[in-house]
Amino acid sequence: MPVLLAFVVVFGAAAAYQQASGGIGLVNLDAIMEQTPGYQDALNNFQQEFSPVEGELQGMAAARDSMIQDFERQAALLSPTARGEKEMEIRQLQQQLTTRAEELQVRMGERERELLAPLEERVQVVIDGIRAERNLSVVFDLTRTQGIVAADQTVDLTALVIQRLQGSE
């Protein structure tokens, strides 16, 4: 319910704002990106680069699962010391898997940003151009929660609010 209320408030405010200003625009950035020249190539390149990595993680997970199954079958026959050593070995393998997965997530995120940043910049230039041509003050993205992808800088009240806050001290 809070999301619906926020949506109603934002679009109610946007409608009132549209009457007082240059207007609003709406875009679906996901659909735009999918249709942007070069996007499919970037996506294919990304998948090609990281397919082997997925195999590596799956191999590590399979080794861990196999080790756990072996341990479960043998646990009753192991001495407390041997059981503790096997449990430690499983925990270490799990920690290695977790660490490697986290490293790869970071690397994958960085690479994705590298590949998509030029495309996103090009899309932003086009959106800004259309916003200016149509005298729109704000452009909302329908696919993201933040929503605003381009705004007329003359309607940004940030500096005025800061100025007034500092002036009232």
Residues spanned by the domain of 51: 2-167
The C-alpha atoms of residue 130 and residue 27 are separated, in whole angstroms, by 11
Q: What is the pLDDT of residue 156?
A: 62
pTM: 0.61
Angle, CA 124 vertex, CA 33 and CA 161 arms, to 5°:
130
Q: What is the pLDDT of residue 25?
A: 85
The C-alpha atoms of residue 77 and residue 17 are separated, in whole angstroms, by 74
Angle between helices 39-74 and 80-133 (to 10 degrees): 160
Indicate the number of domains in the chain: 1
pLDDT at 5 over 50: no
The C-alpha atoms of residue 60 and residue 93 are separated, in whole angstroms, by 8
Closest CA to 24 of 98, 109, 134, 123: 134
Q: What is the pLDDT of residue 35?
A: 87
pLDDT digits (tens, 9 = 90+) for 53-108: 888 888 888 988 998 999 889 888 889 999 999 999 999 989 998 999 899 999 99
pLDDT digits (tens, 9 = 90+) for 10-62: 445 444 444 445 788 888 888 888 888 899 999 999 999 988 888 888 888 89
pLDDT digits (tens, 9 = 90+) for 107-151: 999 999 999 999 999 889 888 888 888 898 888 887 776 666 676
